[in-house]
A and B are shown apart, each in its own frame.
Chain A
């Protein structure tokens, strides 16, 4: 019925639809590997697939599901290829003429526009209309997160500071021992890593979009390489989101993020998610010496004691722990939720996070950390 290649390439396509990035050459490697182990044994095919098509533990889970569904079509429904939008979901250019208005030209209009923008900066993002939200989305481009710095182990040349004996001596040797100018040096600096943990549970759903836009700014506008900001979503499970957000266009990045995160508007098990983060990523180096920003309202459904323990662990690992709570900036807010009360003793900064102005403040705090 099926040619073997067709069968295997079909599996690759199903995997792609399930979110595993299977490229041409990976598929090619898969075919070659199956040729070595033989097509007869499903377990051998599975192992060949694990070795050639997967690149992370999440991929392995998906491969297992898809492979079983592919070979027993009776079981799970075959995944249909998801249609990936190739254009931004919508255009978010700032609307130049803000309100319909009376069409008065000149300075009056400009001042009105400026103040409307200023007002929008301080509005609660959860209470915006769709049009206002679109304008605000464009204003996220005005945030320019810079990474905090740490001292590096090495020195670099500088025009004052300590005397660089080695360089001075080498310069002098180059002149056959004639005394040369003194060289100076100072400690080099390196960007400090920033880690953002964004709560996407149900109680945060009206803020999740704005917070992810903020996270997107951190990923694309911050440094690349070792100091790059890393983003995770927490909720009922932990999802690594940095790669999805590393697209310059904010709307596309958010669509990609939406495809990756499985637990939008689910429950909150902050303590457990945090534990998974620390076990899988944090303790191995990602959180070590980093500035970790937790964005959550602290409505913890799980065990508050576990959350407290994990926050304490996080604070021991990280350089600085910042907690951003959307409700913090509102009148009459008291940190009474069990989750917040458990976490607060282990937090260095407790910030509001409901408007663009507060996000700008967060960017400042992180840069100075």
Chain B
């Protein structure tokens, strides 16, 4: 088995995974490529944790692109429940449908049973992300920021992730023909339940090294000159290493900054433009001041 499931997405080896992700512009290291390879081969959900802005969500997008599958995204939040993740009935349309039946009935009236049956037709079913992913399978299901949801929702996810099926009382059971590739991301605002973690392969995404981050900037923002990309990444990495910032910039912020500089026509980092665009890099007033001071020092050398 295995060959017919995830058809076309059974990778040969780790290098192949890295190469096909790189083709979509997602540059990853061997660690991450191995985990993705294992997730595909073992058909296990992938749990990604790490600093914000290190590319957890982007990985799901890149995977969907490289496997040529639809990406279904479920954004979690406090208080999310099964109806927001699974399905709902389109109540207004059901009422309209009843009205239409009433208006068009002949003298013999409407068959009550028939009318009731027609109410719970798949066309009145609003498929929410999890059901949509099961219906569209093979697909990539991204469960974003799962740490924001409640414990009860985790238990519900656990059930779906172990059976890949959902039962709707009025319609019956929907089972995925092919289990979707599931990517869960967490920012670690709270510890996830162990039962959920055990179902998943775990990976902690760290900030990339200098060479890799330059590579990421070059591949994600080709309009940025090579010289500028290297200067931007060097600066960002030094800022991260200093440890003085309230929120050290992630890769996403590096990209934003490089793009902002390039929009302003900079081909090299200079103090004036850098100071003007610092808002793309850090989001606290104190951090902004610190970055400006650090830039002063770096430029002075």
Which residues of A are in contact with B by a Cβ distance under 8 Å? 21, 23, 25-26, 29, 32-33, 36-37, 43-44, 47-48, 50-52, 54-57, 60, 153-154, 224-226, 230, 240, 242-243, 280-281, 283-286, 313
Contact of B198 among A23, A43, A285 (CB under 8 A): A23
Answer whether residue B41 sits at the interface, using C-beta atoms and an 8 A cutoff.
yes
**Leading 5 A-B pairs by shortest Cβ distance:** A285-B189, A47-B34, A51-B201, A284-B189, A55-B197
Closest chain B residue, CB of each to CB of A313? B246
Q: Are A51 and B151 in contact (CB under 8 A)?
A: no
Q: Which residues of B contact A25 (CB under 8 A)?
A: 198
Q: Which residues of B contact A284 (CB under 8 A)?
A: 52, 187-189
Q: Are A36 and B187 in contact (CB under 8 A)?
A: no
Answer whether residue B161 sits at the interface, using C-beta atoms and an 8 A cutoff.
no
Answer whether residue B269 sits at the interface, using C-beta atoms and an 8 A cutoff.
no
Q: Are A54 and B38 in contact (CB under 8 A)?
A: no
Q: Which residues of B contact A153 (CB under 8 A)?
A: 79
A286/B189 contact (C-beta < 8 A), A48-B34, A55-B197 known: yes
C-beta contact mask, B10-52 vs A, less than 8 Å → 1, else 0? 0000100000000000000011001101100110100001001
Q: Are B198 and A26 in contact (CB under 8 A)?
A: yes
Closest chain B residue, CB of each to CB of A306? B244
Answer whether residue B6 sits at the interface, using C-beta atoms and an 8 A cutoff.
no
A262 to chain B, nearest CB (A): 18
Q: Are A33 and B202 in contact (CB under 8 A)?
A: no
Answer whether residue B148 sits at the interface, using C-beta atoms and an 8 A cutoff.
yes
Closest chain B residue, CB of each to CB of A153? B79
Answer whether residue B204 sits at the interface, using C-beta atoms and an 8 A cutoff.
yes
Q: Are B194 and A21 in contact (CB under 8 A)?
A: yes
Q: Which residues of A contact B188 (CB under 8 A)?
A: 280-281, 284
Q: Are B191 and A44 in contact (CB under 8 A)?
A: no
A160 to chain B, nearest CB (A): 25
**16 CB < 8 A contacts A-B:** A33-B38, A36-B37, A36-B41, A48-B34, A50-B204, A51-B34, A51-B201, A51-B203, A52-B201, A55-B202, A56-B191, A230-B190, A243-B191, A284-B52, A286-B189, A313-B246
Q: Are B189 and A281 in contact (CB under 8 A)?
A: yes
Measured in the bound complex, the distance between the Cα atoms of B52 and A283 in whole Å is 11
Count residues of chain B with CB under 8 A from any CB of chain A: 33
Contact of A286 among B41, B152, B190 (CB under 8 A): B190
A226/B78 contact (C-beta < 8 A), A23-B198, A37-B34, A51-B34 known: yes
Q: Are A44 and B202 in contact (CB under 8 A)?
A: no
User: In the complex, which of the residues B52, B147, B188 has the most CB atoms of chain A within 10 Å of its own CB atom?
Assistant: B188
Q: Are A60 and B204 in contact (CB under 8 A)?
A: yes
Which residues of B are in contact with A by a Cβ distance under 8 Å? 14, 30-31, 34-35, 37-38, 41-42, 44, 49, 52, 78-79, 147-148, 150-152, 187-191, 194, 197-198, 201-204, 246-247
Measured in the bound complex, the distance between the Cα atoms of B52 and A43 in whole Å is 26
Measured in the bound complex, the distance between the Cα atoms of B194 and A21 in whole Å is 10
Q: Which residues of A contact B190 (CB under 8 A)?
A: 226, 230, 285-286
Q: Which residues of B contact A225 (CB under 8 A)?
A: 150-152
Contact of B150 among A43, A51, A226, A285 (CB under 8 A): A226
Measured in the bound complex, the distance between the Cα atoms of B122 and A235 in whole Å is 59
Q: Are A57 and B189 in contact (CB under 8 A)?
A: no
B210 to chain A, nearest CB (A): 21
Measured in the bound complex, the distance between the Cα atoms of B79 and A62 in whole Å is 35
Q: Are A33 and B150 in contact (CB under 8 A)?
A: no
User: In the complex, which of the residues A23, A51, A54, A60 has the most CB atoms of chain B within 10 Å of its own CB atom?
Assistant: A51
Q: Which residues of A contact B41 (CB under 8 A)?
A: 36
Q: A226-B78, A240-B191, A285-B187 are in contact. List 14 more A-B contacts (CB 8 A).
A: A23-B198, A36-B37, A37-B38, A50-B204, A52-B38, A52-B201, A56-B191, A60-B204, A226-B150, A243-B191, A281-B188, A284-B188, A285-B147, A285-B189
Q: Which residues of A contact B202 (CB under 8 A)?
A: 50-52, 54-55
Measured in the bound complex, the distance between the Cα atoms of B148 and A48 in whole Å is 28
Measured in the bound complex, the distance between the Cα atoms of B149 and A285 in whole Å is 12
Measured in the bound complex, the distance between the Cα atoms of B246 and A153 in whole Å is 29
Contact of B42 among A33, A44, A283, A285 (CB under 8 A): A33
Q: Which residues of B contact A230 (CB under 8 A)?
A: 190
A229 to chain B, nearest CB (A): 12
Q: Are B191 and A32 in contact (CB under 8 A)?
A: no
Measured in the bound complex, the distance between the Cα atoms of B190 and A243 in whole Å is 11
Measured in the bound complex, the distance between the Cα atoms of B203 and A343 in whole Å is 37
Measured in the bound complex, the distance between the Cα atoms of B31 and A243 in whole Å is 28
Q: Which residues of A contact B49 (CB under 8 A)?
A: 56-57
A174 to chain B, nearest CB (A): 14
Closest chain A residue, CB of each to CB of B33? A47
A287 to chain B, nearest CB (A): 10
